[in-house]
Structure 1
Amino acid sequence: MSENFKDFEEALTSSRDDFIVRQNQAVDQAREQFGKKNVKAKKLERPKPSRAQSVTPSDSFKTGHIVRLAVRRKQLALDEMFEYKSDKLSKLEARLDAEKAAKKAGYPIIGYVYSIDKL
């Protein structure tokens, strides 16, 4: 099964590389034919391999609380769950931080606090 994925991935990367080479050759031909001023340089570059995501500060909390709020964008809308990870030790401070974050995220109406759990 993994060989099929590797073959598929190799086929995709070779197809992408062939396309990039053809595109760059077409740009070079157009420059030779029409002059450098008339043709914009739209050469393509191979994408750089993505690095593994580093641990964000919110994922590396050792202490704090996870606050879940029921929030709404409009007065007559259904409640949505908003989850916020706070590094505060106090439940009250964690709740205030979560409410500020919810308002900043575009949820002006906070219905109620669903839960506050320790990390």
Structure 2
Amino acid sequence: MLTISKEFHFSASHQLAHLPTDHPCSRMHGHNYIVVIELSAASDALTEAGFVRDYRDLAELKDWIDTNLDHRHLNDTVPGRNPSAEHIAMWVHETWSRQLPELTAVRVSETPKTWAEYRPS
């Protein structure tokens, strides 16, 4: 199995529900997010050029992130979910897994020391 990844960045605000009122994440705040997608394929499933997927094919995902997530309030953008890093990772995977069948995981960081990863079983 071969794996590639690509990193994307966006800045956005959110306010998390279901937390105590004194929890800092219950107030509106923002982050400089990092999204890393992971794509995997068996060695016999590589493209003729020897790629899991050409990185240039991911330009549409970058455009989608820039349009739908960058400088947005995620409570208004991530449909039907409390916009935690975990839910954002799941939503990105669900949104893009049909278009990118090699997509095996999505990681989301809100701060330099925190990451959430969605890797469907």
What is the TM-score when the length of structure 2 is the normalising length?
Answer: 0.32
**Whose strand fraction is larger, Structure 1's or Structure 2's?**
2
**Larger CA Rg, structure 1 vs 2:** 1
Q: If each structure's helix is expressed as a fraction of its own residues, which one has the higher value?
A: 1
